[in-house]
Amino acid sequence: MSLQLITRCALSGAAPVPRETGAVLGGALLGAAAASSITAWPEQRLAAPLLGAGASLLGERWLSTLPVSGGESEGIVWRRSGDVLYGVLELDEALFAGETGRTPLQAASEEAYLRLFRLLEAQELPQLWRVWNYLADINGESHGLERYRQFNIGRQDAFLEFSRGATGNVPAACALGLAGGPLSIAFMAGATPAVAVENPRQISAYHYPAEYGPRSPTFSRAALVYPPDREILFVSGTASIVGHRTVHPGDIAAQCRESLANVEAVIGEAGRLGRTGPYTLGELAYRVYLRDAASQPLVAATLAPRLGAAADIVYVAADICRRDLLIEIEATASHVLGGRQSP
């Protein structure tokens, strides 16, 4: 089985993927008009502005050389190819208003992950590899608690209810804020366990002290996963944090450099733990989230000397999980087992 991420596919609409490129397992559509897209595969639609030169609508697609099957389960649209599954779920928080002892976002987050875990059990693909989380007004406060912290409570409650550990071998993930819309979760899972990767420059997120909320975030800094014949590296959302503290508040260029230093530390650990040798900054495919859209030229100029002019980077306007963070970087790469190839 060959599983490949095709990135930076500029679209004028929901353009089909040519047959010769493989079967579509799932993907994402990014851009301000993404919410109106309709596709035949599970697609996470992120109605957030793309920044910099290029298309206003951009598709990311996971392709497989094996046939795909799919369906819908409790609102999750999913596809499966061999022992790899990709799914997308959107939940309206308003449906959970009036929950006793829980905020609507907390209840929606818990329910989303419970549905996810039930699907993985039903498909007998129990290993959750990577999760992409997006919610409205991530730094806003309601019910006396920041919304990101409400999300973390709901997510962790679902992990614990399914007797999944909330520390250690947890999936790679990100959580970003959009201007509006439902709670949106996309995920990839498989039959084989992921190898969790942590950052020696940082405290693991699941060990953050209580000052960051009643529950710590449930994710690893990165994960190495092994569909047949391939090693895929998922680098989680990575920001300007050393230890557990935000560094360089108010300085976007310095936060960019620190975030990249953390990515470099993570891929160094991935090279040590993986089966295919080292990863380099230049081979990764990046999503870069910026709180201030006007900072994109400065960020691009800051990244260029390290990543090179041909780097595969998508810039997206989004809010970061801490108010004092201005940038977050996530990335993906893959190597063929016994060879080497990146998306």
CATH number of residue 323's parent domain: 3.30.1330.40
In a domain, 342, yes or no: no
DSSP assignment, residue 143? T
Is residue 106 a part of any domain in this protein?
yes
Q: Look at residue 341 and tell me if it is in a domain.
A: no
Domain membership of residue 100 (yes or no) is yes
Q: Which residue stretches of the chain are H helix?
A: 104-123, 147-161, 252-273, 296-307
- What domain range is 183 assigned to? 3-336
> How many CB atoms lie under 10 A from the CB of residue 60?
22
Rounded CA separation 245/109 (Å): 26
* Residues present in the chain in total: 343
Whether residue 343 lies inside any domain: the answer is no
Question: 192 and 83 in contact (C-beta within 8 Å)?
Answer: yes
Residue 28, classed as helix, strand or coil, is strand
In a domain, 137, yes or no: yes
**Domain annotation covers residue 164:** yes
CA distances from 260 to 114, 184, 201 (A): 33, 26, 12
pLDDT tens for the chain, residues 1 to 343: 567 766 556 654 444 444 435 689 999 999 988 776 667 799 999 999 999 977 688 889 999 988 999 999 999 999 999 999 999 999 999 999 987 889 999 999 999 999 999 999 999 999 999 999 999 999 999 999 999 999 999 999 999 999 998 998 899 999 999 999 999 999 999 999 999 999 999 999 999 999 999 999 999 999 999 998 899 999 999 999 999 999 999 999 999 999 999 999 999 999 999 999 999 999 999 999 999 999 999 999 999 999 998 899 999 999 999 999 999 999 999 999 976 555 5
Catalytic positions, written as ranges: 328
Residue 27 and residue 41 in contact, taking contact as beta carbons nearer than 8 Å: yes
Is residue 29 a part of any domain in this protein?
yes
For residues 179, 77, 223, 132, the Cα torsion angle rounded to the nearest 10 degrees is 0
Q: Within 10 Å of residue 180's Cβ, how many Cβ atoms?
A: 9
What per-residue string of b and e applies to 74-102 under the rule 16 or more CB within 10 Å gives b? eebbbbbbbbbbbbbbbbebeebeeeeeb
Q: How many domains does the chain have?
A: 1
